[in-house]
């Protein structure tokens, strides 16, 4: 009964907020054009990776988190079916363990002193908006949504919970500033409410994004 309430709540949120889930009867097929399959597939894989991570390292809250994400996975698969997306999306296997350390090599004779390295160029800066800028991180990363409900927030596998991140969509110059509240397998995922603040209509992936750490 609890899982049913979660799924109903997610569907209601998607209908009112323009999220990823389809409504009754799959009548919104036109809202998920073929070119959005990349974003839907990425959102699906992110959630599958999260579930796999929880199963690999469970804690007292893992069952509840997995049930919530599984409901999101089911809704994404419905939208993929409506959009005609093909391909088998699977969770990525966990990163391989680093090889055992090798014994220290025999000390080599001192090398000739190299000339001083050139000073590195300054870090890239995003255009200032609302007077708030920060360190640009995760350069080249795309941004999609986690499918989680609630007030705007982010999840991340790169930054600890409590970190404040600013995400700017360079295709429409919209930005949102959110705190990391949950973990994921990506640099940053936005929940439904945060993604709505920066998305382009009908798109589920931000390909040209600037991610800044501002707190």
pLDDT of residue 61: 81
pLDDT of residue 152: 95
Provide the mean pLDDT of the chain: 74
Helix (H, G, I), strand (E, B) or coil at 148: coil
**Percentage above 70 pLDDT, the chain:** 65
Band the pLDDT of 202: cuts 50, 70, 90: confident
pLDDT of residue 132: 61
**Nearest to residue 210, comparing CAs of 172, 156, 169?**
169
> What would the DSSP string read from start to end of 45-106?
HHHHHHHHHHHHS--TTHHHHHHHHHHHHHHHHHHHHHHT--S---PPPPPPPPPPPPPPPP
Which tens digits make up the pLDDT trace of 133-187? Answer: 789 999 988 998 888 999 999 999 899 999 999 999 999 999 999 999 998 888 9
Which tens digits make up the pLDDT trace of 2-36? Answer: 444 444 444 344 333 344 433 334 344 344 345 57
Distance of alpha carbon 64 from alpha carbon 3, whole angstroms: 10
Which tens digits make up the pLDDT trace of 47-57? Answer: 888 888 888 88
**Nearest to residue 82, comparing CAs of 204, 206, 207, 208?**
204
Q: Cα separations (Å) of 211 from 38, 161, 162, 191?
A: 20, 16, 16, 15
Which tens digits make up the pLDDT trace of 56-87? Answer: 888 888 888 888 889 888 888 888 888 888 88
């Amino acid at each position: 009964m609890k899982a049913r309430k979660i799924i109903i709540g997610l569907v209601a949120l998607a209908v009112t907020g323009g999220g990823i889930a389809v409504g009754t009867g799959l009548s919104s097929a036109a809202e998920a054009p073929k070119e959005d399959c990349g974003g839907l597939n990425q959102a699906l894989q992110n959630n599958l990776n999260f579930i796999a991570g929880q199963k690999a390292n469970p804690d007292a809250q893992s069952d509840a988190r997995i049930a919530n994400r599984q409901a999101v996975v089911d809704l994404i698969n419905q939208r993929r079916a409506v959009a005609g997306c093909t391909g088998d999306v699977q969770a990525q296997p966990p990163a391989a363990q680093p090889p055992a350390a090798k014994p220290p090599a025999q000390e080599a004779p001192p090398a000739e002193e190299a000339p001083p390295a050139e000073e590195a160029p300054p870090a890239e800066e995003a255009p200032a908006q609302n007077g708030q800028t920060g360190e640009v991180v995760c350069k080249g990363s795309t941004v999609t949504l986690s499918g989680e409900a609630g007030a705007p927030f982010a999840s991340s596998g790169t930054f600890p919970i409590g970190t404040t991140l600013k995400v700017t969509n360079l295709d429409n110059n919209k930005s949102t500033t959110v705190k990391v509240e949950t973990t994921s397998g990506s640099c940053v995922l936005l929940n439904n409410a945060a993604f709505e603040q920066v998305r382009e209509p009908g798109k589920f992936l931000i390909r040209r994004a600037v991610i800044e750490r501002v707190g």
